[in-house]
Amino acid sequence: MHIQQLQLKNYRNYESLDMTFDHAINVIIGENAQGKTNLMEAIYLLAFTKSHRTPREKELVKWEEEYAKIEGRVTKRNQSFPLEIVISAKGKKAKLNRMEQKKLSDYIGAFNVVMFAPEDLTLVKGAPQIRRRFMDMELGQIQPRYIYHLGQFQKILKQRNHVLKQLQRQSTQDRTMLYVLTDQLIEHAATLLERRFVFLTLLRKWASPIHYGISRQLETLHIAYDPTIDVSEEANKGKIADIYNRKFSEIEDKEIDRGTTLIGPHRDDLLFYVNDKNVQIYGSQGQQRTTALAVKLAEIELIYNEVGEYPILLLDDVLSELDDYRQSHLLETIQGKVQTFVSTTSVDGIQHETLNQAAIFRVRDGKVES
């Protein structure tokens, strides 16, 4: 899988841009605030229909312009097809092969991308929502239907929290709507949890041996799921739904007192153990970075095994954050099999034959020279 061409119109600081890429390594060099990360973001957005940097889509439209457009031509399974995202005050439109897609689940997964940026180094030690987002984005790529269940869950969760707030304030005493919404929430929550368990099994399969290699065979990695209910990873959807039912009944009064939903996939977490110690709490910065790198490299292999082709890899200003050994391990792992985009302020100090063969692009003030 690779992206051949990218066209931007009124996107961030780009008035107009038309680029073609090398099938192997593309290095984008530029000082900060010149537009190199905007290029990476545009490729990411073409895959996921949303930015990894901001939820406010109006920020993506160039100042004083009415719309932004991102177009790309992608090759997957030896077929070439166009993708298009248009963002305006009227909303967002996504086209796959020139056909507008009404559902995100019909679009996401057509183009697979793995992003590794400095903020991903906080995957291990950062807040739980970072790890939940990681699971949701990767699951959405390999199982687009997951996006539908996630969207429904988030919509019902918002409604349920509103009802809990009303009961908390005693503006209503009737709990009928709470029970209806709880039943609907459980349906989607059980599906999300079941699929996350399957994803975790696949992630472990690839991350553990990769981590063992990066750590020079000195450390073993184990990834555990930390749910808000007492449930086995082997449980099927029906069993998970039964456990949610019982738990929601037990904590009903407590949720009303708090005015919010206290259990569910929106409060779950991932735990990382290196040599049986929680690396989030007890790990050194080096161990935390090795774990994050192993997980990102595992994503690449996981997608390849589920989809049948390697995803595009975006390395956004991350090489300078890794020491020489981790840099080399990363670049050697991807060499020759993954179309890769590297953004950096300079390639000085990054000594690797992979970059010597790369296509070089220089970015300055929203203009790109190859």
43: number of CA atoms within 13 Å, CB side?
33
Q: According to the annotation, is 35 in a ligand binding site?
A: yes
Give me the residues paired with residue 25 across strands: 340
Measure the CA angle with vertex 270, ends 268 and 275; round to 5°. Answer: 150
Report whether 66 belongs to an annotated binding site. Answer: no
Instruction: For the chain, report the end-to-end CA distance as a whole number of angstroms.
Output: 22
Per-residue CA distances from 188 to 19, 150, 182 (Å): 41, 7, 10
64 is in an annotated binding site: no
Q: Is 264 annotated as a binding residue?
A: no
Q: Residue 241 and residue 93: Cα distance in Å, rounded?
A: 35
- What contacts 188, CB < 8 A, 6 or more positions away? 149, 150, 152, 153, 156
Which of 283, 292, 329, 291 is closest to 121 using CA atoms?
A: 292
36 annotated ligand binder: yes
Q: Are 126 and 117 in contact (CB under 8 A)?
A: no
Phi, psi (deg, nearest 5) at residue 338: -125, 125
- The vertex-42 CA angle with 41 and 43, nearest 5°, equals 90
298 is in an annotated binding site: no
Annotated binding site: 30-37
Annotated binding site for ATP: 30-37
